[in-house]
Amino acid sequence: MTPADRRDWNDRGWIHCVDVVGPAQLDVLRRSVDQLDAWATTGGPGLHHFESTEGGPVVARSEHFADVHRDLGEFVRGAQVADVLAELFGEPAVLFKEKVNYKHPGGGGFAPHQDATAYRFVDHHISVMVPLDPATIASGCLFFAPGHLGGAMPTDDRGRVDEPFAATLDWQPVEAQPGDMVFFDSYAPHHSGTNRTDRPRRALYLTYNAASKGDHRAAYYADKTAEFARADGTFDGARVRISVNDDFLGRPVTS
């Protein structure tokens, strides 16, 4: 990390690293995500969620794949990410959860939220977004706002940052290209929009916690699987349920 990266991290809670992943590695990741997409529609391994778009039902998210997909597992737990995380945490990191958000054309965005208030078992995480397609304002890129140093923000009963409070934040788009990485603190508020292009906006979202806080990945997925088994996969039939909090704005698949 450069001194500027460190200042940005301390002040804002996110950093945008450019041209980190090389073309050969990107090809491997893209082929791997194509395999996850196929698994989602054929009953293969992993945990998969779907949404409805104007073009029909599409897979919205795949997760829990690091132990069953060799190439993705090696990347998720590899030094390319781990070395930066060790600098940010000040100690080694351990994987908390992993997912791919596909954001196909018309795919829904996410309301303003903080990850820390949505994840159980440990109260602080760092995530890295690895775009496999251009993440632009048109395709529904991430927007961040400063404020992570204040900790948990006011939330509504759906787990989103309270709308009047969110309106006071200085939201900044972070457009990223394939090969980049965006690291962000779990208290950094963020949101994203609908993909209004004619191409997917696929991205890996990999979340870690400090190793000294313990390994909670198995407990996280067991807890999520149990909670989802008690629900119908939607929030009142209006929005897809893909996380514990109701921050995803995608529409349920009804047939």
Residue 184: pLDDT over 70 = yes
Asked, for residue 247, whether it belongs to a domain, the answer is: no
In the prediction, which pLDDT does 216 show?
Answer: 97
For residues 104 and 90, what is the distance between their CA atoms, to the nearest angstrom? 36
Q: Is residue 216 part of a domain?
A: yes
Q: What burial letters (b/e) apply to 161-184, b meaning 16+ CB within 10 Å? A: beeeebeebeeeebbbebbbbbbb
* Domain assignment present for 254: no
Instruction: Judge whether residue 12 has pLDDT over 70.
Output: yes
Give me the mean pLDDT over the 149-175 stretch.
96
What is the percentage of the chain residues whose pLDDT exceeds 70? 100
| 255: in domain | no
Assess whether pLDDT exceeds 70 at residue 117: yes
When the pLDDT of each residue in the chain is averaged and rounded to a whole number, the result is 95
Range with the lowest mean pLDDT among 22-31, 81-90, 246-255?
A: 246-255
- Please, which pLDDT band fits residue 105 given cuts at 50, 70 and 90? very high
Per the model's pLDDT, the better-predicted residue between 230 and 106 turns out to be 106
Give the domain range for residue 173.
Answer: 3-240
% helix / strand / coil in the chain, to the nearest 5?
30, 25, 45
Which sign, positive or negative, has the C-alpha torsion 76, 98, 150, 143?
positive
In a domain, 30, yes or no: yes
Q: What is the CATH number of the domain that holds 37?
A: 2.60.120.620
- 255: confidence class by pLDDT, cuts 50, 70, 90: low
Report yes or no on 253 lying in a domain: no
pLDDT, average across residues 205-223: 97
The residue that leads in pLDDT, 151 or 255, is: 151
Could you tell me if residue 251 is inside a domain?
no
pLDDT at residue 191 above 90?
Answer: yes
Mean pLDDT of 162-175: 98
Q: Is residue 249 part of a domain?
A: no
Task: Inform me whether the pLDDT recorded for 241 exceeds 90.
Answer: no
| Contacts of residue 214, Cβ cutoff 8 Å, sequence gap at least 6 | 94, 121, 122
CB atoms within 10 A of CB 154: 10
- pLDDT of res. 118: 85
201 — phi, psi (to 5°)? Answer: -125, 75
Q: Which residues of 22-54 are buried (b: 16+ CB within 10 A; e: fewer)?
A: eeebeebbeebbebbbebbeeebebbbbbbbbe
Domain count across the chain: 1
Q: What's the pLDDT band for 238 if we cut at 50, 70, 90?
A: confident
Token pair for residue 163? Answer: 């709308």
